[in-house]
Amino acid sequence: MITMARLWEQQSGRRLAGILQVGDMGAFPDPARLDDATARMARSDPDELGFASYCVATEEGERYLGGPGVPVTVFIRGNHEDFDYLGQFPEPEAVDPWNRLWYVPDGAVFELERGGRVIRIAGFGGISPRDEVAKQSKKSRHAVAHAGSHGAPDPRCFSLEDAALAFSGEAPIDILLTHAGPDHPDLPGGSPALAALSRRLAPRAHLFGHHHVALGPTEGPGGGLLVGLDHLEFGRRGELREASAGVLTLDGEATSFEVFEASRHPWLAGVRRDTYRGLLPAPGASLLGG
């Protein structure tokens, strides 16, 4: 994620205001607390365990987060995290020694300052609760990951009540980050509650992940730009999955999203499982002049 952001800066000659991550960061400081799905994925992809090298002082963390000009990352919870760990942060807070990785809990707003302007980013993570999934069509239910069982609340899921009340009385929101996607004609299994949230907030952009599909950019429930991102990972031959990242631009009243695709971004071909760690300059060096 950080490598791609810095390489885009190098290729474009422009600087990013920040990095937005839509959940499933793999926030497991203690690998002994991995959920079954993450542990299974980590057997073939050790990067699934990468968070542990960034939430404490390590050489790897210093290389990627300690240098000059590293953009701030704003992330929300997905459904594969250590929820007890994230639960200790009731407000947006940096979780790393370099103050680069900022977690935004459900219902909180992170204000990203850039060039005298404040970009307001609302976070609402997790997946649909069982009660919402049960009301969806058979096709939609098939497209939704199993979201809990009867009994104690499932920590992977958001609360329908919280979704209905979140951000009440807040100033206008520029960007809404959700892990699951909203109900949308092109997204089987999208959440009606998140669609209602998006309509109520009317953000300029609504970004989500989770569904293993790419969507948009298109018009979202709130009238702004809606973008669904595929998982940022490597394929069997070490190639980067496309439509897993891109650049969101807020330019005056205009909002746009450019999806990273190899046809338009040839530098992506060099970002491979076996090469990406060698693509950044040494610590203390800058990717950009001036």
Sketch the domain layout of the chain as residue ranges: 2-278
pLDDT value for 141 = 45
Mean pLDDT of the chain, nearest integer: 90
Give the confidence band of 153 by pLDDT, cuts at 50, 70, 90: confident
Residue 143 has pLDDT above 60, yes or no: no
pLDDT value for 147 = 52
What CA–CA distance (Å, rounded) separates 195 from 197? 5
> pLDDT > 70: what percent of the chain?
90
Residue 120 has pLDDT above 90, yes or no: yes
Q: Edge to edge, what strands does the sheet with 175-178 contain? A: 108-114, 117-124, 175-178, 205-208, 225-228, 215-219
Query: What fold is seen in the domain 2-278?
Result: Purple Acid Phosphatase; chain A, domain 2 (3.60.21)
pLDDT value for 242 = 85
For residues 214 and 229, the answer to whether their CB atoms sit within 8 Å is: yes
Condensed to tens digits (0 to 9), the pLDDT of residues 62-90 reads 999 998 889 999 999 999 999 999 999 99
> pLDDT > 90: what percent of the chain?
76
For residues 233 and 221, the answer to whether their CB atoms sit within 8 Å is: no
pTM exceeds 0.75: yes
What CA–CA distance (Å, rounded) separates 107 from 124? 6
Tokens at residue 125, please?
């993570």
Q: Which is more confident, 285 or 161?
A: 161
Averaged pLDDT, 175-197 = 97
Residue 256 has φ and ψ, to the nearest 5°, of: -145, 160
The per-type count for the chain, helices as H runs and strands as E runs, is 8, 12
pLDDT value for 150 = 52
Averaged pLDDT, 114-126 = 93
Residue 288 has pLDDT above 50, yes or no: no
Q: How many CB atoms lie within 10 A of CB 44?
A: 9
Q: How far is CA 92 from CA 27, 102, 124, in A?
A: 15, 6, 12
pLDDT value for 290 = 34
Element (H, E) at 85: helix 83-86
pLDDT value for 128 = 96
Going by C-beta distance under 8 Å and a sequence separation of 6 or more, which residues neighbour residue 86? 27, 77, 103, 105
